Amino acid sequence: MFHSIDVKKLLLSMTMMAFGLSISRGTSVAAFSLAAFSRAPSATARREFSTFGYRRTGALQSTMEAVTDLTKSMGVEHPAYEIITNDMVEEYGAATTLYRHKKSGAELLSVSTDDDNKVFGITFRTPPEDSTGVPHILEHSVLCGSRKYKTKDPFVQLLQGSLQTFLNAFTYPDRTCYVVASQNEKDFYNLINVYADAVFHPRAINDPNVHAQEGWHLELENKEDPLIYKGVVYNEMKGVYSSSDSRLSRASQRSIFPDTTYGVDSGGDPKVIPELSFEQFADFHAKYYHPTNSRIYFSGDDDVYARLEIMDEYLKDFDVSPESKPGSVIDWQSKVFNEPQRIVEPYPIGEDQPETNMVNINWLVNEEPFTPLEEMAIGILDHLLMGTTSAILRKTLTESGLGESITGGGLSDELLQATFSVGLKGVKEEDVSKVEELILSTLEKVAEEGFEAEAIASSMNTIEFQMREFNTGSFPKGLSFMLGAMSKWLYDQSPTEALKFEEPLAELKSRIESSGSEVFQELIKKYLVSNTHRTTVEMKPSKSLETEELEEEKSRLSAIKENLSDEDLEEIIQKTQVLKELQATEDPPEARATIPALELGDLKRETTEYPIAVTENENDSGVTVIRHELGSTSGIAYVKFGIDLSGLDVEDITLLPLFSRVMMETGAGELDQVELSRKIGTHTGGISVSVLTTAVHPDGADESDIMDGNYLQTKLLMSGKSTSDKTTELFDLMKMILTDARLDSQSRVIEMLKESKSRRESAIIGGGHSAANTRMKARYRVGGYVDEMMGGISQLETLRELLKQAEEDWPSLLARLERIRNTILDQETCRSGMFFDITGDTAVQSKIKDSVHKFLDELPGDADGKKVQNFYKEQHPWVEPVKKLMAELAPIEDEGFVVPTQVSYVGKAGLAYEEGEQASGSAQVVARFLRTGYLWDRVRVMGGAYGGFCTFSPYSGFFSYLSYRDPNLSKTLDVYDEAAEAVIAAAEQLENDPDALSQAIIGTIGDMDGAMSPDQKGNTQLTRWLVNESAEYRQKFRDQILDTKPEHFREFGERLKNLKQTSVAVVSSKAAFDEAKEDGKVMNMKNIV
């Protein structure tokens, strides 16, 4: 999987798994910055925070005792290893020992914590010399069978039947990481065995078919056909290079690293990938995948000796390789530019897209290691410059009117050397130089004048809160620890020193106390203002580039074919046939039997429930309060405040995303935008505003019945968190934002709309599968159409219309925003439609009770006013008007959405169950089996797409097929049409293979039982309460999953065969739609970008 992500987007990227992308093995990471997490402590450290410091609590005392116990795990001896060092990382509550394997030279970091979400990772330093994508292709390929595990794709078998909480791999510009995680110890060691054998003894280095499938190959079925390129990574990277943002970030990195490995694309350039031979591919593995060049990592609560023992089984086959580590050393890029450089490149745009430029200014920040103080300070500096919408550099650029949205994102520090990039997209050609001048002049001004004390306090508290809370959600904490350690360990420095932040944080506070902003001004001057190793990358729009690149590829392939003899063509045809036959052949039972697996008896039968206590009309406030009292939340209160939206006119639904942003980003009460942002940063862990819409079970209905979607809860949701001694400030800010947000900032609203439009365009081009799925859902249920209005393809046109209204008729738009606020805060009814949800431990709940009651008392509205309607008894007022819009604007039809891209995102959907029917939990097992089996094989392995998957809702009956970065369109729709028969055929196979059925069940349970942070547990139980779902139903549903039989596959297959009201939504290029039309796949086409 290829992402260009940093720490600000890390957790967001994990949501992609909801679309099955977790099974699209492999992440080629262009910018995976973990600065904030790399210095953050484990939640087990149990600290309660205050601004610029923390104080010990009773919870901390008990944890310190636990830490004392953990120290016993340091220094465990094993005859195959020598101990390099022991270290207690107190910030994490982690006891660590760094070992060296005597025979192979491999280094192993053992981290002991009380976290049951155990993590294993093995990382190789893999610097590429060119842009053939060899490390990326190899990362995909090593998991396609190995010495011990004989199936074609053990990775998929693990996905099908594991309780894994993380299973993936990453390709960085200079390293390749393989990571697994599980809360089940047996499962965890099964995963380790498969991954360890895969990296050291892969089938791929002896079987050219793996390189052909995962990397690239020439495909030809008949002599008269044109040659084509096929390969998973090849098509993945064509999708990446279809994104203008990706092109800009890659050009920026190349520009500032002219002499080192960072100047090539480790993910692979589609134009260069076909230059990679199988011999080069195998040689790369031999050179870099040696234990001496590896860094092996364990964390969690499992036994240290067992860790050492299992790895010795693999490492003892190797002797030390003297040339392995020196041969992979990453060279430093010297600052060789005496004056800034300029690069101009084209990027593709659609026919109807405005011809605007993109521009990034990029710096190579350092050419020698940072001191710990510098590293801490430059992270805070990045937040001061770019971290919030009110940060000085980001705000100046946004308000300049010179472009539509920010590019670059600021500091990236995940590699040997840090870089800083910032710019704008949507820039008129004549304004490009103005953008450059504005960036440079802003930095010069800050370097001279410094930052205000309030800004520094806000950024310091924000980053410190994040480090101490260390809330990674469902993303394993141990993996964040590993990636943080790797930021130094990979470059032969201490893996644990990188994770300690107390000393540099204290030193930075001392510097700020004595000299204020000076430390940051010095950094700006040294690393940015006076730094001539700087480049400006300008991307110019081209409406012909997409066609030119496609024609160039066709010409190249045509030239290759013309130079081939008949014998050569026959050989390609033969290889194509052999590969297809291999891909279509099922693994024999004896091969599948080599994959270690859990048994049904290893599963927990009971559904996990989390605490919930509901008090209606708490303290005579008229507001419902929900509490989740958990074991420990480290002194933090997590709150969600819901305000009913049902009184709004349907025409104002499309304004809710904008209204939510305006509430947070224009100031409130006496505070302007900057002052509000600083208050939030100084006193809280963050506040956000979003919109929640969900269908609910009507009172008295059978919860197993498919819902008609006419009963809904619609809420404006304000979320916040703070330490328990700061909740008064948190609640005051939330109330001010709700009642007194400054809605009348025309210039700021215009900026928001430009930025939102730009982001939506990028999201559709880069994530067309998501856009297609949202569009298809809009055709069947009211809630789906509401989601489309606020965040789908149709929202793009809405944003364009709102932007025009904001520029030409601001009073009308302002009146609509004010009407929304007045309606949701109606004096008579608003309190009746509110809820206040609190997640916290016993001490937190007790400590904040008075501030909660004060908050409730001061809310607008009458405590004993009118009641809003009962949404569990009456149809939501939006239903009828929305259904009229659906009939007009989202009919059941096949639609094609044209964007500039070289790949397709193909969706097909319908209703597997209709209103009143019942969907069993077994349907989840079948849908997952289809996703990880047939669709994986046919869409990804054989079709060459980066991802193929399906979604199913047991609540609405909605079922959809989706593909991601797909070289096919028409053929993929054919694959979908054949899926039902494949499921029916699987039923018979499972009758004779009970182990395969067990694995399907286990994998489904694994999806349900992932690790959760405290706030996620509270939110899960809140959602259950909102949708009116009982614990009895959840247990029944789980039982149905566990009791799935082969006949359930047959039943679901018949439903897929007779899918009701089917329709298609595809995001692709005009050329792809024209080809599909020739195959009889005719769609209502719309140019959207």
Helices 1046-1057 and 979-991: crossing angle in degrees, nearest 10, is 170
- Residue 318 backbone phi and psi in degrees, to 5: -120, 145
Structure tokens at 268: 């692979």
C-alpha dist (Å) from residue 454 to 398, 410, 879: 21, 21, 47
DSSP for 221-242, please give it: SSTTSPPEEE-HHHHHHHHHTT
- Beta carbons of 398 and 406 less than 8 angstroms apart: yes
Assigned token pair, 652: 């104002």
SS3 of residue 668 by DSSP: strand
Instruction: Starting at the earlier edge strand, list the strands of the sheet with 164-171.
Output: 2-3, 27-29, 164-171, 175-182, 118-125, 294-300, 107-112, 94-101, 81-89
Helix 922-932 to helix 979-991 angle (10° resolution) is 110
- The H or E element spanning position 835 is strand 835-841
Give the chain's largest Cα–Cα span: 88
The letter for the amino acid at 815 is: A
User: What is the number of H-type helices and E-type strands within the chain?
Assistant: 41, 30
Q: Are strands 613-615 and 624-630 parallel, antiparallel or unpaired?
A: antiparallel
Alpha-carbon gap, residue 462 to 972, rounded angstroms: 47
Structure tokens at 71: 């120290």
214 is catalytic: yes
Give Rg (Cα) of the chain. 28
DSSP designation for 608 = P
Amino acid at 890: A
C-beta separation of 1067 from 768 below 8 A? yes
Contact 623, 858 (CB under 8 A): no
Q: Residue 946 CA to chain centroid, in angstroms?
A: 16
Buried b (16+ CB within 10 A) or exposed e, 53-76: ebeebebbeebeeebeebeebbeb
Among candidate residues 139, 236, 404, 436, the one labeled active-site is 139
Distance CA 301, CA 70 (A): 9
48 part of the active site: no
CA distances from residue 177 to 174, 294, 492, 718, 876 in whole angstroms, order as listed: 10, 10, 16, 37, 49
> Which token pair is 612?
């919930």
Helix/strand/coil (H/E/C) assignment for every residue in 150-207: CCCCHHHHHHHCCCEEEEEEEECCCEEEEEEEECCHHHHHHHHHHHHHHHHCEHHHCC
Cα–Cα distance measured from residue 962 to residue 941, given in angstroms and rounded to the nearest whole number: 15
- Mark residue 686 as left, alpha or beta (left: phi above 0; alpha: psi -120 to 50; beta: remaining): left
Distance CA 253, CA 240 (A): 15
1060 by DSSP, 3-state: which?
strand
Q: Which of 323, 326, 329 is nearest to 260 (CA)?
A: 329
What is the residue-wise DSSP string for 459-474? HHHHHHHHHHH---TT
- Catalytic residue, chosen from 91, 214, 375, 546, is 214
Q: State CA 28 to chain mean position distance.
A: 13
Distance CA 34, CA 499 (A): 11
Contact assessment for residue 1063 and residue 910, using Cβ atoms and an 8 Å cutoff: yes
Residues with catalytic roles: 139, 214
